Amino acid sequence: GGVSSPRPGIKIKVVCRVRPFLKGEEQDNSVQVNHAERSLVVVNQRNPSEVLKYSFDNCYDSQATQEEIFTENLVPLLQEVCRGLDATVFCYGMTGAGKTHTIQGTPDHPGLIPQSMKAIFQRQKEFLAKATPGTSNKFDIQVSYMEIYKETVFDLFKPRDPGMKEGLMVREDAKRNVFVAGLEKKKIISLEQFELEFTKACKNRATAATRLNQQSSRSHAILGVDIKIEDGATNKVFKGKLNLIDLAGSEDNRRTGNDAMRLDESKAINTSLLVLGKVVDAINSRASRIPYRDSKMTRILQSSLGGKSLGMMFVNIAPAKKFFLETYQALNFATKSKEI
């Protein structure tokens, strides 16, 4: 002990969020959240005497507000990003469990993306205003937004060429940093501008998916926010990055018998989520080998996952009994990646 470890003691936190019942949904609950204890229990539908308990870094029931989720989990991360660290946040769960609600939200109930951007612009304003007299501070914000579908990367800020099958290339620079060649990074100067660009990109995503007869729930959407802060008095520069990721639905499409789902599509989703689970597991168990290279997404995120970077996995859960298998699978995915 006492010697600095080559791998800093940062783990990927796992946060569970159970959504409310939706209109028309039968109100038969399969999970019970204990917020104070940061845990939940679920009864095995096949064997009701078996009650399973899962512990998390945070656990929220259907009453939790978007503000609460943001303040308790994202604010501390943003603090570190502004000090020059990278942070990556995922939403995992079956389609309909509340991933997009958590990460994007609605105009009335903004999710993690709009709340984070608002907080970053607030911070920018304060930092620019408090420059030492005679010097000027800088605070640059750049945003990228990509989609990974069947191991192919697309830029959501650019209209999709219908004939485009190839996607963007993932490359490595001389310092072995992995990057997506040709991915646009937009300089963003206001929250209003961000909201316009982001809304446009989301429509782009939906349109491309419809044209190709896909569903956006079968791809991963990765919003990257690069922050560069320069202190005019000291000339110190801090570069941090925040990734906010809406993952493809974790349901097993072969089991649920979705005809429209082609086998290769289903395989690609299952493989990339499986690799993500293995990467998170390897980071949290301090494994010497982390299989970043086994999927496009983990390869792209390599520098923002593990090492000194901060990570957070939201596990979104639908409460109804009919989703028990999906819930059970998602909880096990998360607990595997939970601190042991």
Q: What 3-state DSSP class applies to 322? A: helix
**Rounded Cα distance, 337 and 318, in Å:** 20
Sites for ligand ADP among residues 65-94 (CB under 6 A): 93
**96 part of the interface to ligand ADP, by CB under 6 A:** yes
For residue 261, what are the CA distances in angstroms to 97, 100, 136, 215, 256? Answer: 19, 21, 54, 9, 10
Given ligand ADP, Mg ion, none, residue 128, with its beta carbon under 5 to 8 Å by kind, binds none
Name residue 109's amino acid: H
Sites for ligand ADP among residues 305-334 (CB under 6 A): 316
**219 part of the interface to Mg ion, by CB under 5 A:** no
**100 part of the interface to Mg ion, by CB under 5 A:** yes
The DSSP string of 14-48 is EEEEEPPPPTT----B-EEEETTTTEEEEE-TTST
Pick the closer one to ligand ADP by CB: 61 or 155.
61
Given ligand ADP, Mg ion, none, residue 186, with its beta carbon under 5 to 8 Å by kind, binds none
Closest distance of CB 64 from ligand ADP, Å: 7
Sites for ligand ADP among residues 198-217 (CB under 6 A): 217
DSSP3 helix / strand / coil % (the chain, rounded to 5):
35, 25, 40
Closest distance of CB 196 from Mg ion, Å: 21
35, 38, 101, 200: which one contacts ligand ADP (CB under 6 A)? Answer: 101
Closest distance of CB 19 from Mg ion, Å: 12
Which range touches ligand ADP (CB under 6 A), out of 14-22, 113-121, 168-176, 253-261? 14-22
Strand 170-172 to 178-180 pairing: antiparallel
**266 part of the interface to ligand ADP, by CB under 6 A:** no
Q: What 3-state DSSP class applies to 213? A: coil
Neighbours of 335 (CB within 10 A): 18
| 83, 238 contact by CB (below 8 A) | yes
Closest distance of CB 19 from ligand ADP, Å: 4
For residue 84, what are the CA distances in angstroms to 9, 58, 81, 87, 226? Answer: 17, 25, 5, 10, 10
Which range touches ligand ADP (CB under 6 A), out of 17-25, 120-128, 170-178, 330-338? 17-25
Task: Note the residues at the interface with ligand ADP (CB under 6 A).
Answer: 19-20, 22, 93, 95-101, 217, 316
Task: Note the residues at the interface with Mg ion (CB under 5 A).
Answer: 99-100
